[in-house]
Copies of this chain bind each other. A is one copy, B any other.
Amino acid sequence: MGPSRARRDEDKEARRRELLDAARALFEATSFAEVKMADVAARTRLAKGTVFLYFPTKEALFLALLDDLLTAWFAKLNGQLAGGDGAWTAEALARTVAASLEGEETFTRLLALMQTVLEQNVTVEQTRRFKERVLVAMGATAVLLQQRLPFLTAEDAGQLIRHVHALMTGLRQMADIAPVAREVLTLPHMAPLRVDFTAELTAAITTLLRGLQAR
């Protein structure tokens, strides 16, 4: 007697969620490469083949997960940006962005994998849907940024978001390293290579904003 079969659309959606949750839990404990599709299946008490009924490839599974996390993060950030009103200081804004990423390690780790791994083995359609969603959320963020930082032009706002994205992925990779690298960086003189994600991101965004303001 296997698991109940998902025949209605809502049941299928629920099963899809279970798979995403399993993938997430496994990814949080290890790394993309170490998560096996067989593990994802086992965690949901399904057969491996079943996982592939819901996601055509491993990359598609994780891109779908990233899609969810990204949507959630943008909603959170945009909510906080819309919250207060009037102009903000560069530092206040930088802190808000950095704070919105606290506890979102999974999101930034996946984001860092997006171009190099996740979009490698995925359909054009899935990529398009994903990027379409990013575009919408980004647009909303750009508008909010201009409200909070009057010195920003529309073009500035777009560029700023791209630069923050680059910093997020770059810093996450530097902060969230393989065990081997972690061991090496423990050495005292390696301090200049150690990265505190939140602190560095806050500093970098603050500096970027001050640079735009000073122009």
Contact = CB atoms under 8 A, between A and B. Distances in A.
B206 A127 contact: no
B178 A135 contact: no
Interface string A163-183: 101111111011011101101
A174 B31 contact: no
Nearest to A139: B192
A183 B166 CA distance: 21
A115 B174 contact: yes
A184 B124 contact: yes
Interface in A190-215: 190, 192-193, 195, 200, 203-204, 206-215
A138 interface: yes
Given A124-B184, A184-B127, A204 B208 contact: yes
A181 B211 contact: no
Contact of A135 (B112, B193, B200, B215): B193
A193 B134 contact: yes
A96 interface: no
A8 interface: no
A153 interface: no
Contacts of A209: 211
24 contacts: A31-B120, A112-B116, A113-B116, A115-B173, A119-B180, A120-B178, A124-B180, A128-B187, A131-B181, A159-B200, A162-B171, A162-B192, A162-B195, A166-B173, A166-B204, A169-B170, A204-B208, A207-B207, A207-B208, A209-B211, A210-B211, A210-B212, A210-B214, A210-B215
Interface of A: 31, 33, 112-117, 119-120, 122-124, 127-128, 131, 134-135, 138-139, 158-159, 162-163, 165-171, 173-174, 176-178, 180-181, 183-185, 187, 189-190, 192-193, 195, 200, 203-204, 206-215
